[in-house]
Amino acid sequence: MKKEKKQSNLSRLMYYAGGYKVLTYLSWVLSFISSLLALLPLVYIFFIIKEVIEVAPDFTKATSIVHNGVMAVIFAVLALIIYFASLMCSHVSAFRIGSNIKRDLLKHIIKLPLGFSEEMGSGRIRKIINDSSTAAETYLAHNMPDMASAAATPLGMVVMMFIIDWRFGLVSVLPVILAFLCMMKMIGPQMQKDMKAYNDALEDMNNEAVEYVRGIPVVKTFGQTVHTFSRFKASIENYGKFCISYTKRCRQPMLFFMVFINSAFAFLITLALILSQGSANIAADIILNFIFYVIITPVITTTMQRVMFMSEGEMTVADAFERIDSILNLKPFEKNENTDKPRNSSVTFENVSFRYSGADNLAIDNVFFTAGSGKTLALVGASGGGKTTVAGLISRFWDVTEGAVTIGGVNVKDIDKSELMNTVSYVFQDSKLLKRSILENVRLGRPGATEQEVIEALNKAQCADIIAKLPDGIHTVIGTKGVYLSGGEQQRIAIARAILKNAPVVVLDEATAFADPENEYLVQKSFAELAKDKTVIMIAHRLSTIQNADNIIVLENGKIAEQGTHGNLLKQNGIYKKMWDNYQSSIAWKVGEHSA
């Protein structure tokens, strides 16, 4: 089978540029012309110096100085204007590329399973979307016009240098060759690997930083240090070690690169001394040629540095596309053309096993249970036991490895995505609100709901006290002018959203985790309203909230260790009984009784 040819980075850039790619090509042409024109002022300056030397000491004979000076200024201004036009063209095209890449990524992310963001991490996803699109944008806006300039400048310089005096031209090119060899030591294949390692380290640090910031309340509450978040600390240390190691590797070649690229004067002076050896008076043509090359060779330094950064930019954009592809290559769940609707709100796990991508062990191992329509099922157990994974599989955050998850007798794989989302409401442990009004946040549950329906949902979720204290009521925008809500208040708003959605299946993932005692009471009342005539799957650490559940499942290492009602599980005197006793001891504990 013929291997599919990989699309070049330039082709991909032009694809994302769409109809604006003509501007990209135009920017190259303009940059090329600008670079050639930028050399002409140096020639006219040389003509001025040449005339001054030739007519000395009678400077009244220097009749062309003004003309040459004016021509130098004209060509310098013209080169600047054309270069500005080149950058305008490239930037317009680049901005289109940046927006198109972000749009394609976000459109693809919407199609991916909900568990994708949990596995990759929100910090890493944000960095790929923002930084990778920006890298491609910067490369097209600046590096690619510089490529045309980097081709035009050496071409024009070589022609001029070898026409005036091939000997001086040759020694001017020699340090360029030596500098180029040093540059290749830094930008060879190893740099591509280093660029990937650098961005990997940066991504890890960014991702762990997001998680660390989210955990700051816990750190401050318990007086812990950054060492508590060992992964965040490790990511910072790994980034530091890489940067130091990379800098040391580049130190020597960079040193010699800068020496050679700035040493053209030394080569020119050496040649001038050799050519004038044995002569009492240095010939005028040698002096003139020497002055011309002294004027023009500094352009070499600028050009070589452009080439170096241009090569780095090319590797950066190649790495950016690899990271973009790491998202675009992820496959959405296959769409089943023969979809069906759930016949009721019962939820069944039929010998379900699930393994996370890249994991060695099963997160869920041969789990079987049924939550009947209108019943409440609670999931309890130690952290890492698989509770949140079970809840996620109901909403099809991931697809099961083995077995089947059914709602109303229909496999969730055979339920249309929009139908599944309308069937299941998910209240997360940490329900973040958008920087929108209360009305808009609640309306996410049912976008077509009227304002009165939103108010009714808020009242059922025990949010009347929240709305009463807000300056603009339900039209108050969260996060502006000092308007912020506590964790428990945010949770009640999220529950109002779920009440408005009115889905037959409700999943509550430790939804009282951030509520204080007063808010917990109100949250529990809102739960009662939300759970009316619904099938409820509840994850809880506070066992007092699940005493009345129709069935309680104790998960341990991804397996069902025990299940039954609260009373039956206490009689079994097993894991649940120990959890209940520990819970009772914790709520009965008083500071005064245990202080010294």
What is the structure's pLDDT at 75?
Answer: 92
Residue 513 has pLDDT above 70, yes or no: no
193-225 per-position pLDDT tens digit: 776 777 777 777 777 776 676 666 655 554 555
Helix (H, G, I), strand (E, B) or coil at 131: helix
pLDDT value of position 3: 44
Asked if residue 494 lies in contact with residue 510, where contact means CB atoms within 8 angstroms, the answer is no
Instruction: Report the distance separating Cα 470 and Cα 465, nearest Å.
Output: 9
Cis, bond preceding 41 (omega within 30 deg of 0) = no
3-state secondary structure (DSSP) of residue 71:
helix
Q: Can you give the CATH number for the domain in which 362 is found?
A: 3.40.50.300
CATH number at residue 156: 1.20.1560.10
* Of 237 and 482, the one with more pLDDT: 237
Name the domain count of the chain. Answer: 2
- The residue with greater pLDDT, 69 or 333, is 69
Q: What percent of the chain has pLDDT over 70?
A: 85
Give per-residue pLDDT as tens, 241-295: 888 888 887 788 888 877 887 777 788 788 777 777 755 455 666 777 777 777 7
Please give the residue range of the domain that contains residue 432. Answer: 347-588
The answer on pLDDT for 404 being more than 60 is: yes
pLDDT score of 91 more than 70: yes
Contact 458, 464 (CB under 8 A): yes
Q: Residue 164: its pLDDT value, please? A: 73
Q: Are residues 388 and 246 in the same domain?
A: no
Question: Is 377 exposed, middle or buried (CB count within 10 Å of its CB: 0-12, 13-18, 19+)?
Answer: buried
DSSP 373: T
Q: Assess whether 469 and 323 both reside in one domain.
A: no
Report the alpha-carbon distance of residue 286 to residue 275 in Å, rounded: 8
3-state SS of 284-353?
A: HHHHHHHHHHHHHCHHHHHHHHHHHHHHHHHHHHHHHHHHHHHHHCCCCCCCCCCCCCCCCCCEEEEEEE
Mark which of 328, 359, 394 sits at the end of a domain. 328
Q: Which helix (H) or strand (E) holds 554?
A: strand 551-556
Asked, for residue 594, whether it belongs to a domain, the answer is: no
In the listed set 328, 360, 394, which residue is the last one of a domain according to the structure?
Answer: 328
Segment 477-484 shows an average pLDDT of 76
Are 176 and 309 part of one and the same domain? yes
Q: Place 592 in a pLDDT band, splitting at 50, 70 and 90.
A: very low
Does 146 score more than 70 pLDDT? yes
The answer to whether residues 383 and 320 belong to one domain is no
144 inside domain: yes
Do 393 and 305 share a structural domain? no
pLDDT digits (tens, 9 = 90+) for 92-125: 888 888 888 899 888 888 888 777 777 777 777 8
Mean pLDDT over residues 442-466, rounded? 89
Q: Is 58 among the domain residues?
A: yes
Is pLDDT above 50 for 2?
A: no
Residue 340 lies in a domain: no
Question: Is residue 453 domain-shared with residue 500, that is, in the same domain?
Answer: yes
How many CB atoms lie under 10 A from the CB of residue 56?
A: 10
Task: Indicate if 368 and 286 belong to the same structural domain.
Answer: no
Helix then strand count (H, E) for the chain reads 24, 10
Q: CB within 8 A of 120, min separation 6: which ones?
A: 327
Question: What pLDDT is attached to residue 9?
Answer: 76
Same domain for 462 and 506? yes
Region 475-487: mean pLDDT is 78
- Kindly state whether residues 366 and 315 are assigned to the same domain: no
Average pLDDT score over residue span 376-386: 86
What is the pLDDT, as a whole number, of residue 596? 42
Angle at 37 between CA 31 and CA 43, to 5 degrees: 150
% pLDDT > 90, the chain: 10
**Per-residue CA distances from 222 to 122, 216, 218, 542 (Å):** 26, 10, 6, 20
Among 283, 300, 328, residue at a domain's last position: 328
Mean pLDDT (the chain, rounded): 80
Residue labelled with tokens 């270069």: 83
For the full predicted model, state whether its pTM sits above 0.85: no
Query: Which of the residue ranges 212-226, 338-352, 526-540 has the most confident prediction, judged by mean pLDDT?
Result: 338-352
Residues 6 or more apart whose CB falls under 8 angstroms from that of 36 comprise 152, 153, 156
For residue range 158-200, list pLDDT tens digits in order: 777 677 777 877 787 787 778 777 777 776 666 667 767 777 7
Examine the pLDDT at 582 and tell me if it is beyond 50: yes
441 part of a folded domain: yes
In a domain, 217, yes or no: yes
Query: How many Å is the Cα radius of gyration of the chain?
Result: 35
- My answer on whether 152 and 209 are in the same domain is yes
Whether residue 224 is found in the same domain as residue 259: yes
- Specify the amino acid at residue 209: A
Q: Is 269 found in the same domain as 171?
A: yes
Q: Do residues 393 and 405 lie in contact, with contact meaning Cβ atoms separated by under 8 Å? A: yes
pLDDT band for 529, please (50, 70, 90 cuts): confident
Q: Is residue 31 part of a domain?
A: yes
Q: Is residue 130, in this structure, part of any structural domain at all?
A: yes
Q: How far apart are CA 416 and CA 538, in angstroms?
A: 24
What confidence tens digit (pLDDT) does each residue in 16-64 have? 888 888 888 899 899 889 888 888 888 888 788 778 877 777 777 778 8
Task: Report which DSSP code applies to 18.
Answer: G
